[in-house]
Amino acid sequence: MTNEQLDQLSINTIRTLSMDAVQQANSGHPGAPMALAPVAYTVWQHFLRFDPEDPIWPNRDRFVLSNGHASMLLYSLLHLCGVKTVKPQYETLGELAVKLEDIERFRQLDSRCPGHPEYRWTSGVETTTGPLGQGVGNSVGMAMARWWMAKHFNRPGFDMFDYDVYAICGDGDMMEGISGEAASLAGHHRLSNLCWIYDNNKITIEGHTALAFSEDVATRFIGYGWNVTRVGDANDLEMLERALHVFKSTSDRPTLIIVDSHIAYGAPHKQDTSGAHGEPLGEEEVRLAKRAYGWPEDAKFLVPEGVREHFRAGMGERGQQLRDAWRARFEEYKAEYADLAGQLDSMLHRQLPEGWDKDLPTFPADAKGLATRDSSGRVLNKIAWNVPWLMGGAADLFPSTKTRLTFEGAGDFEADDRGGRNMHFGIREHAMGAIVNGLSLSKIRAYGSTFLIFSDYMKPPIRLAAIMDLPVIHIFTHDSIGVGEDGPTHQPIEQLAALRAVPGLITLRPADANEVVECWRFTMKQRHQPVALILTRQAVPTVDRTKYAAASGVEKGAYILADAPGGKPDVLLLATGSEVSLCVQAYEQLAAEGVKARVVSMPSWELFERQPREYRETVLPPAVTARVSVEQASVLGWDRYVGPRGRTIGMHTFGASAPLKEVQKKFGFLPATVVAAAREVLGNATEPRP
C-alpha cells in the first residue's frame, strides 16, 4: 500500500471511529471530526513533535482542540497513535491512554472519552475544552510560556525550549469575544510559535452562520498582526502541508490557517446544516457515509491493519527521536547548568525550591494598618524573588492591584524581550484568565489580577482552572463597598458568593497584613488547586498578635482570634477580611460591658469545611446559638454558620457612591451595629426554640 493510500486509510479510520462512537453513544457531534480528520491527521502525522510514549515530554508541541465538541477527533488520534497513560506522579505507564473500549464507551461513565476533552483525565489532552474560546485562549498562554522558558532556561548549545502550539478552532470560537482578546494580545507579542487552524464550515447549532456572523475573519486577524493563509478544501493534503510549512517558516507573527470544510464532508449525500453537527447521523447515514469512504458498511470500530503501524512509523518515530535527543541534551545541561536544571525539574513537577518562604515579613500591630493589597504586594515580591518561575500580571491594573514585581531583574514580558516576569494583559480580563491557565498548564506558577468586581468577566477560566486542578493564583482587590466613590458598578456584592460556589476553588479573604502572609504561605504550597485572594483597597488595622491569636490559624480556614474568659463565650462574632476589625472593636466594647464574646476570623470557608468536626465545633460550639456574621457582601451562605437564631450583617442591595466612611455608615458596618446585633441575638438565644 502506498503512503498516499495509507494517508487516506488513516483519515477514514478517524472518521469512522468518530461516527461509530457518536452513534453508539446516541450523543455527540460527528460532523466536525469527519470534516477535520484530514487537517488533524496532517498536523499529527507530519508536523507535531510529540512522543506517544512520553506525552508530557517538556519540549513537545502542544495540540489544543478548542472546539471541544469535536472530541472524538482527538480521542481517535490518541488511540491510533498509541499515546500512553501518565500517572499524577508524572510517571508514564505502559497502558494506552485511550483504548478501543474507551472509544466504544464514548460519553459513558468512567470512559477515558468523555463528552469534551478533559485534562488530567485522559493523557494526551493538553487542556480541558468545551466552553468555546477557552482553548484558543489557553494556547496563547502556552505559546507565551515557551518564549519565557526559552529566555530563562536556554543557553548556547542548549535549546531546551522551542516548541510550537497548534490549536484547531471553529466558528463558535471565533464568535466568542475571548478569541478576539486573546488573538489581539498574541499578535501584539508576535507569537510566531502559535498556529490557529480555523475550521470555516459556516455551521453552528442554529444553522448557517449567515444568521449572525458575516465578518471577514481574515481581515480581522491581519489587523491583529497575524499571518493569514487559506486552504480551500479540507481534504487537500498538499495544500494543508504547504500552509503548515508557511507557519513553520514565519518568524515574526502568529499564523491563522483558514480551512474551508463542510460538516460530514466526504459523504456527499449528507451535507446537513444542523443534525450532523449536534447529533448522531443515524444508522442508515453511517452506512452510506462508510460506503462513500469505501468502508465495510456494517463494520463498527474497525481499525484496518497497517493504520497503527503507519502512525508509529511517522509521528511516533519522529517524536521518540526528538524526545530522546532532548533527554540526552538535558543530561548534559544538568552537568553544565546544575542550578538551572534544578529549577526546571522543580518547576515541571510543581515543586517549590528550598527556602521559597525565607524573609517573609512580619507586620507589627498598627491601629491604622495598611490595605491588604499593599501587604500582599510586599509578600508577593519576596516570594517571587525566591521562586524564579512565579510570574503573572494584571488586566491593566498593576498600580491598583499591587501585583507588579519590582525587584531588580523582574522586567516586563514584551515582544522584544520575553524574559520579563511582569505580564501586561491589557483590559482583557476574560483572556487573562484563559492565558494564565495556559501558563499554568505549561508548569509556570502563574497569577492574574484585577478588581473583584471583574471576576465576573473571567468566571469561565476560573471554573476551568478548578476543573483541571491547576494551581492558578487569582488576585482580586477592591473587594467590597470600601471602594467608596466608584459606586455600585465597581463595588462587588455577589462575587464572593459566586467564587465560594466553585468546587475546588479556595477563596481567601485575609483580615490584616499577617493573615495575608499566611494566605500566601498556604497558596504557594498548592500543587493542584487554584486560589482566589480577596484583598482590600482601604487600610485595615494590623491586629496585635501579642494580645490576640497568631495568624497561622488561617491554614484551617477559621480560627478563634479573640475569646471570652475561660474559652466559654455566650456570643460568637464571625467575619472575614476588613470586617474582622469591626468585630474586634465590638468584642472589646462587649467585654467592657461584661458580655462574654468570641471573635472568629474566617478567611476561607472552604478550608474550614475541610477540618475535622471536632475542630469546627471547638471554633463554633453548637451550644452557642447567639451568633453574628459581618461581611460587606451578599449574606448568601452565612446562614450555615449563624444558624436560625443568628444575625447576618451584610449587603442586601447594591452599594452607593460616596466616601468610604459614609458608605460604611449608610449600610451599617460600624462597631455599634455589631454590638447591637450581639445584644439582640443574646436575647433571642434565651427564647425557647420554635
Last residue of some domain: 506, 541, 576?
541
Q: What's 389's DSSP letter?
A: T
| Mean per-residue pLDDT over the chain, rounded | 95
591/533 same-domain check: no
Percentage of the chain exceeding pLDDT 70: 97
Say if residue 47 is in the same domain as residue 153.
yes
- From CA 632, how far away is CA 654, in angstroms rounded? 11
Within-domain flag for 342: no
b vs e for 278-298, b when ≥16 Cβ sit within 10 Å of the residue's Cβ? bbbbeeebbbbbbeebebeee
Residue 123 counted as domain residue: yes
> How many residues make up the chain in this entry?
690
Q: Are 500 and 546 in contact (CB under 8 A)?
A: no
- Of 490, 508, 541, the position where a domain reaches its end is 541
CA-closest candidate to residue 23, choices 296, 299, 280: 280
CATH of the domain at 267: 3.40.50.970
Q: Are residues 92 and 44 in the same domain?
A: yes
At residue 609 the predicted structure's pLDDT band, cuts being 50, 70 and 90, is: very high
Percent of the chain exceeding pLDDT 90 equals 93
pLDDT in tens, 38-51: 999 999 999 999 99
Q: Residue 404 is inside which H or E element, if any?
A: none
361 within domain boundaries: no
Report which secondary-structure segment, H or E, holds 42.
Answer: helix 31-46
Are the C-beta atoms of residues 424 and 431 closer than 8 Å to each other? no
Provide the pLDDT for residue 422. Answer: 98
In a domain? residue 58? yes
Is the Cα dihedral 529, 160, 417, 357 positive or negative? positive
What letters, b where the CB count within 10 A reaches 16 and e where it falls short, cover 301-324? bebbeebbebbbebbbebbbebbe
Question: Phi/psi of residue 93, each to 5°?
Answer: -100, 170
- 3-class DSSP state of 554: helix
- For 91: left if phi > 0, alpha if psi spans -120 to 50, otherwise beta; the answer is beta
> Does 436 fall in a domain?
yes
The whole-number average pLDDT for the span 487-500 is 97
Q: Is 104 found in the same domain as 208? A: yes
Same domain, 217 and 116: yes
SS3 541: strand
Query: Is 126 designated active site?
Result: no
pLDDT digits (tens, 9 = 90+) for 194-251: 999 999 988 888 889 889 999 999 999 999 999 999 999 999 999 999 999 999 999 9
User: Where does residue 594 fall: left (phi above 0), alpha (psi -120 to 50 degrees), or beta otherwise?
Assistant: left
Query: Does a structural domain hold residue 335?
Result: no
Cell numbers linked to 368: 491604622
pLDDT in tens, 261-275: 876 534 433 333 333
Same domain for 319 and 401, yes or no, is no
Tens-digit pLDDT profile for residues 281-333: 999 999 999 999 999 999 999 999 999 999 999 999 999 999 999 999 999 99
Distances (CA, A) of 329 to 157, 336, 349: 9, 11, 19
Statement to judge: residues 120 and 262 lie in one domain: yes
Whether residue 514 is found in the same domain as residue 595: no
Q: Both 272 and 141 in a single domain? A: yes
d(CA 21, CA 33): 11
Is 549 within the bounds of a domain? Answer: no
Let me know whether 169 and 97 are in one domain: yes
Structural domain contains residue 219: yes
Predicted TM-score (pTM) of the model is 0.96
261, 292, 323 — which closes off a domain? 323
- CATH number of the structural domain spanning residue 645: 3.40.50.920
Residue 690 has pLDDT above 60, yes or no: no
Domain count, the chain: 3
Same domain, 454 and 590: no
One domain for residues 195 and 52: yes
pLDDT digits (tens, 9 = 90+) for 87-131: 877 788 889 999 999 999 999 999 999 999 999 999 999 999 999
The residue range of the domain holding 410 is 366-541
**Of 118, 126, 285, 429, which is the active-site residue?**
429
Does residue 536 sit in helix, strand or coil? coil
